[in-house]
Structure 1
């Protein structure tokens, strides 16, 4: 084994006692260091949730709702859903001391196959395509001031998006502290932007500009399937409420800081989203919002005049921070799934000096950059929006199952059982209702998830595994070769640091 990288493989630990999950004993090795404090935990949640959506296209929710009144209710409902999901995850996160969020909780509550299907879907498509989409938004708004009146060339945007992903991967490989400090800085920047919009709204309301709210319920959509798609648009903006659960093993005092971070971060984002939408409806008419390509830019142009670089700058800050937060959590999922044996062993290693899951971070960045190649990768997110809530629902079911299976387990934070039950019902609605409106997307996502079942039995359980894969997949030789390559990368990072200091 190469000296720069060590395996790490503790089993799932339930708070207060060890739970084997039928896992073979493993030798204790290096552990990820707990370097994420409460402030960084809050900024990881807020910084991942507030991305480009609230600045660019809240019109998706308005389009699905039809009226201002229902739109504000949906944004509020999305916040309550995110909060209900988050506090359910807090119970699981303080009980099960394992990173990986849904993967860890489904593994413990329901079993190996559903956990693998979540990892299969998330690692290959959902997490990388999300990072790619956010990076493309960063590239689009970074280059926008240099191409007034026209769209930047796709090749330039993709190169800049790849640079964004690679830069974030480098920072996360080098230091967890660097990654969290970066998240803190960009979260502050985006909060300045949203509070600026909120101030504009309050000032305009104080001037008596309330005419757009006089017929708030006119045109309200009554089709439940269409409203469910509006919830998808809103929940996309709230995505990231579970991000801190992916890094439980690196959070300081998780039994105390995980509940605090969730109960501070998510209500704050909910209030921000609602008040920012009030600003939009105060300054712009319903039709102007639907026709705007970037609602925040339209508000800024209307109130403070033509400042072509202002909104793109803040959107670039916001998307870079969101991409960093999303990549931070996704790499931990890769790491934990590999530690369990659901991905190649090399991805479960950490760099000895930096104590970062460098192989998992590089793997995540590589797939994200690959998904920049097609022009329609954003459609992947639409295809798998319903599958995300399928696995959220499965996680809430896991909480209920664990309540019955392990009633005496130590739970530092315990939610009323009615909350995960309600969340299961909401998840079912968000999975089933949009199928009527978008059956093709649901079918494609379902086929991909089901395709993971033969992959699991062939390559994970090994029932049909070809001899060549049995002999070479995950062997010490392959692991050592990968470790040596990563050791060279670690050396280059250290050399770069020396150059910067000099």
Structure 2
């Protein structure tokens, strides 16, 4: 392993995007994404399986209908504030890598390594597991409408799905990408169907569930914080356009505009979808359901109820496929930068896909399935990811102080990042009371990256036996995966 390389150098930008061109001897990405494409990217990433899973987790924590809707609105506002901070970061540090680049620029090697370490060991495989379990539950639930699904059946289907999609991504990347249009249609169609059916139901005068909406709601700060994590999980992805800043036309204008259009639109869609759920299902029914959209459809759609689980399952399947593909590239880039073993930066010679990275993440995702409790996985994943988002925005404040003359095409008012960091710190501290085990495990895994960094990256003169062992493992990986490093 070696020290981190410049994330904006020509070498490091190979394979990040296939549309590269030569300009004055330098490799640059084509700026092909306009405002419409930017909005589509944010909407496509955010609108996923979360809206079909998180409502249950929020209701379990807050109990009251009104408090639940308030959590969805506040999570949307928090996402907007965070996205504005990332608009400044993305235009001030126009490098590939998103949080990886921002944390490196502000705090250096070790914190940026810990981000990659936590991303690839915690929230990437955890998100894969959540999406796989969402798919499994929506596939199974229609066959058991009046009883609990068989024990471990969802876990087995989720594990099979993870293995199949890992194989598909490694075997034929083009086939995977061509399916995304169908998956996107189903994803949007499922949400729109829920909203239209709910609005029709409420328009017929069924508003009894909204009487006294805040009665029985919790005021426990720890429970409220856990509810916010379920909501934040559904909004995750608002910062992903920053990974493509170099390809965005006029990013100083289009990046903030895409944010201002997308986040309020997603917030509106999420609030309407939850109003639809809550107009039909009581909080107790939502808590008892493993697939809320299926229960919702069974109440109102009669023989047509099968459409909702089909659309949701296809949506989750497609989202998982994309996430497996993109997350493996993050691990691939981390290995290529010298932050992970070199064998993970190898490509299959036939398909040119990062098969070793795909297999490694698949193994970790399968380990995350040891618990089929989706809400625990969401809390586990979001707490760690939120810490590094907080660190990225803290880097914005640090750079304001350390490099006051740094070029900032977009410069937001100081109160915006300060407010965001303060709120995130509270959300990081409060769950320690309600979910100390989850927080503790996430913290320990993240901190385990410190000795890994010093042993793997900082320590240069490794003993001969260690170098020979890594060489043997690399050669074994090359034979098994028919792979080699990038030329």
TM-score (norm 2): 0.83
- Residue 215 (structure 1) aligned with residue 212 (structure 2): yes
In the TM superposition, what is the alpha-carbon distance from 1:237 to its structure 2 partner?
1.8
Q: Which moved more, 1:326-335 or 1:131-140?
A: 326-335
- Residue 327 (structure 1) aligned with residue 324 (structure 2): yes
Q: Which moved more, 1:235-244 or 1:106-115?
A: 235-244
**Aligned position for 1:100:** 97
Distance 1:85 1:214 in 2: 33
In the TM superposition, what is the alpha-carbon distance from 1:189 to its structure 2 partner?
1.2
| Number of matched pairs | 468
- Residue 11 (structure 1) aligned with residue 9 (structure 2): no
In the TM superposition, what is the alpha-carbon distance from 1:451 to its structure 2 partner?
1.9
**Aligned position for 1:59:** 56
- Residue 158 (structure 1) aligned with residue 153 (structure 2): no
* Alignment deviations for residues 201-229 of structure 1 (CA, whole Å, 9 cap, x no partner): 22222222222222112112222222111
Q: Which moved more, 1:46-55 or 1:436-445?
A: 46-55
In the TM superposition, what is the alpha-carbon distance from 1:288 to its structure 2 partner?
3.0
Distance 2:379 2:127 in 1: 10
**Aligned position for 2:459:** 462
Distance 1:27 1:220 in 2: 51
Distance 1:402 1:321 in 2: 38
* Alignment deviations for residues 274-331 of structure 1 (CA, whole Å, 9 cap, x no partner): 0011112222333333333332222222222144532221221221232134334422
In the TM superposition, what is the alpha-carbon distance from 1:440 to its structure 2 partner?
2.3
Matched-pair contact (CA < 8 Å) for 2:53–2:134: no
Distance 1:271 1:27 in 2: 39
Give secondary structure in 2 for the equivalent of 1:309: helix
Distance 2:421 2:12 in 1: 38
Stretches of structure 1 that go unaligned for 5 or more consecutive residues are 1-8, 19-24, 491-502
* Alignment deviations for residues 126-151 of structure 1 (CA, whole Å, 9 cap, x no partner): 21121022112213323444566562
- Residue 268 (structure 1) aligned with residue 301 (structure 2): no
* Alignment deviations for residues 95-138 of structure 1 (CA, whole Å, 9 cap, x no partner): 33433322221111111111112211221122112102211221
Distance 1:315 1:402 in 2: 43
- Residue 417 (structure 1) aligned with residue 417 (structure 2): no
- Residue 316 (structure 1) aligned with residue 313 (structure 2): yes
| Aligned-residue RMSD, C-alpha | 3.5
**Aligned position for 1:431:** 428
In the TM superposition, what is the alpha-carbon distance from 1:397 to its structure 2 partner?
0.6
In the TM superposition, what is the alpha-carbon distance from 1:55 to its structure 2 partner?
2.3
Matched-pair contact (CA < 8 Å) for 1:99–1:332: no
Give 1:242's match in structure 2, choosing from 239, 248, 260. 239
Matched-pair contact (CA < 8 Å) for 2:142–2:294: no
Give 1:130's match in structure 2, choosing from 124, 127, 130. 127
Matched-pair contact (CA < 8 Å) for 1:173–1:361: no
**Aligned position for 1:386:** 383
Matched-pair contact (CA < 8 Å) for 1:82–1:241: yes
Matched-pair contact (CA < 8 Å) for 1:390–1:431: yes
Question: CA distance change for structure 1 residues 338 and 185 in 2, over 3 Å: closer, same or farther?
Answer: same
* Alignment deviations for residues 432-469 of structure 1 (CA, whole Å, 9 cap, x no partner): 01111122222222222222211211222117954422
Give 1:293's match in structure 2, choosing from 284, 290, 295. 290
Distance 2:290 2:386 in 1: 28
Question: CA distance change for structure 1 residues 114 and 229 in 2, over 3 Å: closer, same or farther?
Answer: same
Matched-pair contact (CA < 8 Å) for 1:135–1:165: no
Question: CA distance change for structure 1 residues 372 and 231 in 2, over 3 Å: closer, same or farther?
Answer: closer
Matched-pair contact (CA < 8 Å) for 1:132–1:372: yes
TM-score (norm 1): 0.80
1:107-126, aligned counterparts within 5 Å? Answer: 107-126=104-123
**Aligned position for 1:140:** 137
1:134-213, aligned counterparts within 5 Å? Answer: 134-145=131-142, 151=149, 154=152, 158=156, 161-167=159-165, 170-171=168-169, 174-175=172-173, 181-213=178-210
**Aligned position for 2:22:** none
* Alignment deviations for residues 457-494 of structure 1 (CA, whole Å, 9 cap, x no partner): 12221179544224554x6x87677557655699xxxx
Give 2:444's match in structure 1, choosing from 444, 447, 456. 447
Matched-pair contact (CA < 8 Å) for 1:64–1:227: yes
**Aligned position for 1:21:** none
* Alignment deviations for residues 224-259 of structure 1 (CA, whole Å, 9 cap, x no partner): 22211111121122223233444556x454826654
Stretches of structure 2 that go unaligned for 5 or more consecutive residues are 20-29
